[in-house]
Chains A and B, each alone.
Chain A
């Protein structure tokens, strides 16, 4: 066990924990967050995505000790403090871009990460950027529409 300091969704948490614990377990079990999900634990499905310093990354294999001194944002932390949804969350809602919704965390976080890198995205670039995230329900066509809708230059 050791002391680990995490910055998650703008708050600092001090934890006494096995430093090898994957970040995902810490977020879910110690911080009671539900956004990041367990899907494989082996970087194959993207269900566990979180933003680390603005980039979408797997949390299922990252030891919590490596997440120190970084700004971690989960699905819960995307909306404004007044509760206004992030534009990507809003466009997923508008497009009803899910079925069971289990993959939604990975989809939204990856899309935010992608839009953080560039706003000039064609279909091929979106697909490439979303390649890491699996959906069993076949919601990907809706996810494509939602992401396109969230691109600022596409706003009507």
Chain B
């Protein structure tokens, strides 16, 4: 275990790994004219050694500025590297975002990570291949065409002498710049890419190896907890610390305005101190009057900034007979299974932070302005946490740990949020409200479509004002702005071929703190759009599959629906159950997915049972088949949970969903079966897969419920039992 621990801490960056070997390589390969097709991050960081290193043991280490969120990013990166360099995937070590070691790739979002990072690494590996072959050609005095690469060695195709990558480099770094043109391996020759490769990290997971932020342990590390106010607007009036030392041996209590933290040597003693201080703290009382308004009414009553997303050239004929429906989606939590955690140390003017944030560099900037330490004196290392599905409490915990470390310098501080803190202080996925309207032509086609969306922000990272901490401190840095962004109207317009579409987004500054949650506005927008499509199909008297297909021109879109139809059409009818479907092209420009849900509605209790979900997806090129399937399966189950059960409850500024009892999520009893079909298109652009299942699941479930019992779901969550 000791060696494991060491290498884990080393990988986590507590020992700086430096490569000081002098570079005396051959001349760089010829530079070329047009690099515009390279991912932007490669154009900014063209130096190959920033992306890829050859290690003494014959492995290759690659650096990604993105983070592993459980989505299998590291596995996919290992696969493309191994593919280009003809290595085994387990010979590739992946280092994730770290301000000391990896390029700056901003934040990791569910769908951008695979697209951009995997491509960048593929180019880097191809550049490494070329450099290694060139080196071997020089050493072996043979044309590169006569050489071959296998298992980390270059040899003559005809056999004979071989040289390992490490021998070729003689301990030096790779020195090429990554520029086009680059010879990528022809896709027909792929051995690993596109296949289901078992993830390397699973082997560590099943034996309980150290791998999560929560597992970091440093010599002399102490434990911190914070004491949170009971509501967003409560402020500290007084804190009686007398008697604290009888409860637990406390090292220090840190106060800054309404921000309170306590530190002890031992974790449980810190918890006791936290509980004691929580009981002693007197807070200004927040108003708790329940609004008489329904949530949709409340959202519609807020001041909005309106933006026109799409305007039809033909004016919506107001006098015509229209079909209208409005839909509501509540605030939803990220609800990571692990509450947020961070480790920080401030020593000799250097602030080090270990975090499960989605971005090392942007977080460093934020923390720099928060603690007024210049960025060169701050190191941020990302370590994996539990699946976050967007911006949860990670950044808050990291910033709080940093603030605590600066106030208590010298030792590593581990800050662990409680379950209640994660539930009540994470930034939620915003509540949304959608009003849809359409006119059907005589032939059943949609002639006019109109959609008005109400949404709060789906992205708040940026200035320190986005942190909880800032609201609590005595001298906050900057206040929260109201960034209306495209997330709110993502997929609010139809991908269906309807020429007259008008879409309006109304951004409000709502009662709860919000930020990005898996798929952003697409979940709510496609719940509305795909439910509405079924309502329109019913009006037109056309089968839901056919109604969608007749409105599509894109062959790939039609294919996912037709395949899904083939799968579910032959199924025997189940009593009290029905199948509903939904389709989307994510962002109307990325991956395709069609989902069918079979749902049972109990005839007397109206209990809802999700029986089975089928998905057909087209994500372009597939890197790891099982990772794609895994994310779609998991996405459908998570979205089933959102759709049936989840809603953040609150009164004014007080969140009442404070644990898994007051904010329940799906448990095994309600888990549906899932089945995924992947259409592989190796020559199409690879598309992110992480978010696409979220958007189609609610519509499919709602449509199934409608077909099973006639009830149309307009407000989420559905509830365990139908409210008739």
A residues bordering B, Cβ < 8 Å? 18, 20-22, 25, 29, 32-42, 44-45, 47, 74-76, 78-79, 85, 89, 92-93, 96, 98-105, 108, 126-128, 130-131, 133-142, 144
- Say yes or no: A100 contacts B387, CB within 8 Å: yes
Q: Which residues of A contact B338 (CB under 8 A)?
A: 37-39, 47, 102
- Say yes or no: B207 contacts A75, CB within 8 Å: yes
- Residue pairs across A and B with Cβ atoms less than 8 A apart, 14 shown, are A21-B268, A29-B267, A32-B5, A40-B659, A45-B419, A78-B207, A96-B202, A99-B631, A100-B386, A102-B212, A136-B334, A136-B336, A136-B638, A138-B636
Residue of A38, A76, A78, A134 near B660 (CB, 8 A) is A134
B463 close to chain A: CB less than 8 A? no
- Say yes or no: A136 contacts B389, CB within 8 Å: yes
- Say yes or no: B630 contacts A99, CB within 8 Å: yes
Measured in the bound complex, the distance between the Cα atoms of B215 and A32 in whole Å is: 9
Measured in the bound complex, the distance between the Cα atoms of B69 and A41 in whole Å is: 23
Q: Which residues of B contact A134 (CB under 8 A)?
A: 337, 660, 665, 667
- Say yes or no: A34 contacts B210, CB within 8 Å: yes
Measured in the bound complex, the distance between the Cα atoms of B600 and A78 in whole Å is: 39
- Say yes or no: B384 contacts A100, CB within 8 Å: yes
- Minimum CB–CB distance from A9 to chain B (whole Å) comes to 10
- Minimum CB–CB distance from B135 to chain A (whole Å) comes to 38
Q: Given contacts A44-B661, A127-B669, are A99 and B634 in contact (CB under 8 A)?
A: yes
Q: Which residues of A contact B630 (CB under 8 A)?
A: 96, 99, 139, 142
Q: Which residues of A contact B70 (CB under 8 A)?
A: 98-102, 137
- Say yes or no: B633 contacts A102, CB within 8 Å: no
Measured in the bound complex, the distance between the Cα atoms of B215 and A36 in whole Å is: 11
Closest to B335 in A: A136
- Say yes or no: B208 contacts A105, CB within 8 Å: yes
Q: Which residues of A contact B202 (CB under 8 A)?
A: 92-93, 96, 98, 101
- Say yes or no: A99 contacts B671, CB within 8 Å: no
B44 close to chain A: CB less than 8 A? no
- Say yes or no: B389 contacts A92, CB within 8 Å: no
- Say yes or no: A47 contacts B337, CB within 8 Å: yes
Apart from A34-B208, A93-B198, A141-B637: 11 A-B pairs, beta carbons within 8 A: A21-B268, A25-B267, A33-B208, A34-B215, A42-B419, A89-B207, A96-B630, A101-B205, A127-B669, A136-B389, A137-B638
Q: Which residues of B contact A130 (CB under 8 A)?
A: 668
Of A21, A92, A98, A142, most B-chain CB atoms within 10 Å: A98
- Minimum CB–CB distance from B224 to chain A (whole Å) comes to 14
Q: Given contacts A135-B337, A142-B630, are A104 and B419 in contact (CB under 8 A)?
A: no
- Say yes or no: B208 contacts A45, CB within 8 Å: no
Map CB proximity to A onto B364-389 as digits: 1 under 8 Å, 0 otherwise: 00000000000000000000111101
Map CB proximity to A onto B648-667 as digits: 1 under 8 Å, 0 otherwise: 00000000000111000111
B418 close to chain A: CB less than 8 A? yes
- Minimum CB–CB distance from B83 to chain A (whole Å) comes to 20
Measured in the bound complex, the distance between the Cα atoms of B4 and A33 in whole Å is: 12
Q: Given contacts A42-B419, A101-B202, A134-B667, are A22 and B268 in contact (CB under 8 A)?
A: yes
Closest to B8 in A: A34
Q: Which residues of B contact A36 (CB under 8 A)?
A: 208
Closest to A100 in B: B70
- Say yes or no: A45 contacts B337, CB within 8 Å: yes
B33 close to chain A: CB less than 8 A? no
Residue of A76, A96, A128, A135 near B199 (CB, 8 A) is A96
Chain B positions 59-75 with a Cβ under 8 Å from a chain A Cβ: 69-72
Q: Which residues of B contact A96 (CB under 8 A)?
A: 198-199, 202, 626, 630
- Minimum CB–CB distance from B495 to chain A (whole Å) comes to 25
B266 close to chain A: CB less than 8 A? yes
Q: Given contacts A99-B387, A140-B637, are A104 and B205 in contact (CB under 8 A)?
A: yes
- Say yes or no: B206 contacts A92, CB within 8 Å: yes
- Say yes or no: A140 contacts B668, CB within 8 Å: yes
Q: Given contacts A44-B419, A127-B669, are A138 and B212 in contact (CB under 8 A)?
A: no
Measured in the bound complex, the distance between the Cα atoms of B668 and A59 in whole Å is: 21
Measured in the bound complex, the distance between the Cα atoms of B225 and A41 in whole Å is: 14
Q: Which residues of B contact A39 (CB under 8 A)?
A: 337-339, 419
Residue of A29, A44, A108, A144 near B659 (CB, 8 A) is A44
Map CB proximity to A onto B384-405 as digits: 1 under 8 Å, 0 otherwise: 1111010000000000000000
Q: Which residues of A contact B358 (CB under 8 A)?
A: none
Please name the 4 residue pairs, one residue from A and one from B, whose CB atoms are nearest each other, closest first: A100-B70, A138-B637, A35-B208, A102-B386
- Minimum CB–CB distance from A61 to chain B (whole Å) comes to 12
Closest to B75 in A: A96
B239 close to chain A: CB less than 8 A? no
Measured in the bound complex, the distance between the Cα atoms of B423 and A45 in whole Å is: 13
Q: Which residues of A contact B636 (CB under 8 A)?
A: 138
Q: Which residues of A contact B626 (CB under 8 A)?
A: 96
B416 close to chain A: CB less than 8 A? yes
